[in-house]
Amino acid sequence: EEEDKVKLALVRFMDKLAQGNAQKYFNWGWNLTSDPCIDKWFGVNCDKGFNYVRRITLEGLNLTGTLDASSICTARSLYSLSLKNNNLQGLLPEDIGKCKSLTHFYIKGNKFSGDLPDSLAGLGNLIRLDISDNDFSGELPNIHKISGLISFIAQNNNLSGEILAFDFSNLKQFNISNNNIWGQIPDVKGRFSADSFSGNPRLCGPPLLNVCPPPSPPPSPHKKTKKSPSENFVVYSGYVILGVILLLFFTFKVVQKYKTKKESLAVQKQKVAEYSSSDKPGGSSIEFKNATRIGSDYSVTSVESGMTASTLVVLTSPEFKALRFEDLLRAPAELLGRGKHGSLYKVILDSGVVLAVKRIKDWGMPKEDFQRRMHKIDQVKHPLVLPPVAFYCSQQEKLLVYEYQQNGSLFKVLHGSRNGLTFDWGSRLNVAASIAEALAYMHEELQEDGIAHGNIKSSNIIFDKKMDPCISEYGLMVVEIQDQSILSQTKSFKNRNLTSHAYSTFKVDIYAFGVILLELLTGKLVQNNGFDLANWVNSVVREEWTVEVFDKVLISEGANEERMLNLLQIALRCINPSPNDRPSMSEVAVMIITLKEEEERSITFEP
Ligand X SMILES: Nc1ncnc2c1ncn2[C@@H]1O[C@H](COP(=O)(O)OP(=O)(O)OP(=O)(O)O)[C@@H](O)[C@H]1O
Per CB under 6 A, residues contacting ligand X are: 336-337, 339-344, 356, 402, 404-405, 409, 455, 459-460, 462, 472-473
In the bound complex, what is the minimum distance in angstroms from residue 480's beta carbon to ligand X?
Answer: 13
Residue 325 or 402: which CB sits closer to ligand X?
A: 402
> CB of 51 within 8 A of CB of 25?
no
In the bound complex, what is the minimum distance in angstroms from residue 390's beta carbon to ligand X?
Answer: 13
Distances (CA, A) of 389 to 69, 73, 382, 404, 493: 55, 50, 14, 11, 35
d(Cα 127, Cα 114) in Å, to the nearest integer? Answer: 23
d(Cα 64, Cα 86) in Å, to the nearest integer? Answer: 7
322 CB contacts (<8 Å, ≥6 apart)?
none
In the bound complex, what is the minimum distance in angstroms from residue 347's beta carbon to ligand X?
Answer: 11
Residue 412 or 542: which CB sits closer to ligand X?
A: 412
Residue 280 or 338: which CB sits closer to ligand X?
A: 338
The residue number whose beta carbon is nearest to ligand X equals: 339
Q: Is 186 left (phi over 0), alpha (psi -120 to 50) or beta?
A: beta
Q: Which has the closest alpha carbon to 520: 587, 464, 596?
A: 596
Residue 332 or 339: which CB sits closer to ligand X?
A: 339
> CB of 425 within 8 A of CB of 562?
no
491 CB contacts (<8 Å, ≥6 apart)?
500
In the bound complex, what is the minimum distance in angstroms from residue 300's beta carbon to ligand X?
Answer: 20
Residue 126 or 526: which CB sits closer to ligand X?
A: 526
Helix ranges, 148-290 (H)? 229-277
In the bound complex, what is the minimum distance in angstroms from residue 307's beta carbon to ligand X?
Answer: 19
Residue 286 or 354: which CB sits closer to ligand X?
A: 354
Q: Which has the closest alpha carbon to 128: 143, 114, 110, 140?
A: 143
Residue 460 or 504: which CB sits closer to ligand X?
A: 460
In the bound complex, what is the minimum distance in angstroms from residue 458's beta carbon to ligand X?
Answer: 8
Residue 197 or 463: which CB sits closer to ligand X?
A: 463
DSSP assignment of 148-175: T--EEE--SS--EEEPP---GGG-SEEE
In the bound complex, what is the minimum distance in angstroms from residue 511's beta carbon to ligand X?
Answer: 16
What spatial distance separates the first Cα and last Cα of the chain, rounded to whole Å?
A: 64
In the bound complex, what is the minimum distance in angstroms from residue 523's beta carbon to ligand X?
Answer: 18
What letter would DSSP give residue 217? Answer: P
Residue 138 or 339: which CB sits closer to ligand X?
A: 339
In the bound complex, what is the minimum distance in angstroms from residue 336's beta carbon to ligand X?
Answer: 4
The dihedral formed by the CA atoms of 313, 317, 318 and 321, expressed in degrees to the nearest 10:
-20
